[in-house]
């Protein structure tokens, strides 16, 4: 057989094509200094995030100290912070903050997983069958602009204020996003990837599993990322209207009692959890589709 081709030179070749090796390492001095400057400013850019957060907190503290609003309506950050331990131990309205966080998190997790389990296969079905697409797409396009919140009274009438209506609200918000992104992902599969498999004798189900699904995965994950955000918003809003526990309920309950500090804490928790969910899916993305944007 043919001898292996010149591996030493290949090593050099691969190094220069390795995406980890940036322009910094191989180009002339000019570029090098530019890159070094870029490196220094990266640290500065990161610091700026904290600076802004700190400034906002100070601004808040200043507003509170200046009594722009009565202290009861705008407690200072320090007052709010003091309320946190009590919220965790004693709680508010009969349950601790942890319970409310737990209730909301379980709801979003369950609703989201069901939404993905329905949305991804539905998207694949719609992408591969025009009949299915024409049947389901108008429904989706109709549901999408309707704020899921507008459906809450209906859901509560039918299913009560229990978990079923919460799950449905999340799904109404999440499924269309997941479906549309899945369809885009399937349709976006480069034709040559499919042809390569066809030429190797792959059946259509093998092509679906081994070529189209992995090709669509980056888009599906994008859909999941956007979808979980939408679902979270829908859930909290639904909890505001009709619930007996959860972060949305806590905001509503504290609002009625003018417990502004608790509202702040609940909102902070809502934001942080939303941020964490987004981060989790981004980590999932990094683990599952490291090739995204590189191939």
- The stretch near other proteins (CB under 8 A) out of 12-20, 59-67, 92-100, 224-232 is 12-20
196 touches other proteins (CB under 8 A): yes
290 touches other proteins (CB under 8 A): yes
23 touches other proteins (CB under 8 A): no
Residue 224: closest CA among 284, 136, 295: 284
291 touches other proteins (CB under 8 A): yes
14 touches other proteins (CB under 8 A): yes
> Smallest distance, Å, CB 17 to other proteins?
5
1 touches other proteins (CB under 8 A): yes
> Smallest distance, Å, CB 287 to other proteins?
12
> Smallest distance, Å, CB 14 to other proteins?
6
d(CA 253, CA 256) in angstroms, rounded, equals 5
Whether 234 and 170 have beta carbons less than 8 Å apart is answered as yes
Taking the CA atoms of 278, 280, 283 and 289 in sequence, report the sign of the dihedral they define. negative
Taking the CA atoms of 196, 197, 198 and 199 in sequence, report the sign of the dihedral they define. positive
Among 157, 192, 205, 256, binds other proteins (CB under 8 A): 192
Which DSSP symbol is given to 28?
-
Q: Which is nearer to other proteins, 82 or 210 (CB)?
A: 210
Rounded to a whole number of angstroms, the CA Rg of the chain reads 26
Binding mask 197-236 for other proteins (x = CB under 8 A): xxxxxx---x---xx--x--x-------------------
Among 29, 50, 67, 294, binds other proteins (CB under 8 A): 294
> Smallest distance, Å, CB 208 to other proteins?
13
66 touches other proteins (CB under 8 A): no
Whether 273 and 105 have beta carbons less than 8 Å apart is answered as yes
Whether 97 and 212 have beta carbons less than 8 Å apart is answered as no
A 10 A CB-CB count for 211 gives 19
- The stretch near other proteins (CB under 8 A) out of 78-86, 122-130, 138-146, 284-292 is 284-292
4 touches other proteins (CB under 8 A): yes
46 touches other proteins (CB under 8 A): no
> Smallest distance, Å, CB 294 to other proteins?
4
Residues 162-181 as b/e (b if ≥16 CB within 10 A, e otherwise) read eeebbbbbbbbbbbbbbbbb
Residue 108: closest CA among 283, 255, 282, 280: 280
List C-alpha distances in Å: 176 to 112, 252, 274. Answer: 12, 28, 19
- The stretch near other proteins (CB under 8 A) out of 5-13, 37-45, 67-75, 156-164 is 5-13
Phi, psi of 131 (to 5 degrees): -60, -50
Binding site for other proteins (CB under 8 A): 1-2, 4-7, 10-11, 13-14, 16-19, 190, 192-193, 195-202, 206, 210-211, 214, 217, 289-291, 294-295
């Amino acid at each position: 057989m043919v001898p292996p081709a010149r591996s030493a030179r290949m090593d050099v070749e691969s190094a220069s094509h390795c995406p980890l090796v940036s322009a910094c390492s191989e180009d002339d001095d000019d570029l090098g200094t530019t890159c070094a400057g870029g490196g220094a400013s990266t640290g500065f850019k990161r610091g700026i995030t904290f600076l802004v957060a700190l400034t906002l907190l100070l601004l808040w503290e200043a507003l509170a100290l200046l009594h722009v609003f009565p202290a009861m309506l705008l407690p200072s950050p320090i007052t709010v912070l003091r309320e946190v331990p009590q919220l965790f131990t004693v709680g508010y309205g009969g349950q601790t903050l942890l319970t409310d966080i737990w209730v909301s998190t379980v709801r979003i997790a369950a609703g989201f997983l069901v939404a993905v389990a329905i949305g991804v296969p539905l998207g694949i079905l719609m992408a591969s069958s025009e009949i299915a697409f024409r049947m389901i797409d108008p429904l989706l396009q109709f549901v999408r602009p309707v704020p899921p919140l507008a459906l809450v009274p209906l859901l509560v009438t039918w299913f009560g204020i229990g978990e079923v209506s919460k799950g449905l609200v999340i799904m109404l918000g999440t499924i269309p996003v997941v479906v549309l992104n899945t369809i885009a992902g399937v349709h976006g599969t480069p034709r040559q990837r499919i042809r390569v498999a066809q030429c190797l004798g792959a059946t259509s189900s093998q092509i679906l599993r081994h070529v189209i699904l992995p090709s669509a995965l980056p888009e599906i994950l994008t859909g999941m990322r956007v979808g979980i955000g939408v679902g979270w918003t829908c859930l909290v809003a639904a909890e505001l209207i009709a619930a007996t526990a959860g972060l949305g309920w806590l905001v509503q309950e504290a609002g009625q009692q003018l417990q502004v500090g608790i509202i702040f804490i609940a909102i902070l928790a809502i934001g942080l959890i939303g941020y964490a969910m987004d981060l989790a899916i981004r980590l999932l993305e990094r683990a599952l589709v490291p090739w995204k944007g590189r191939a």
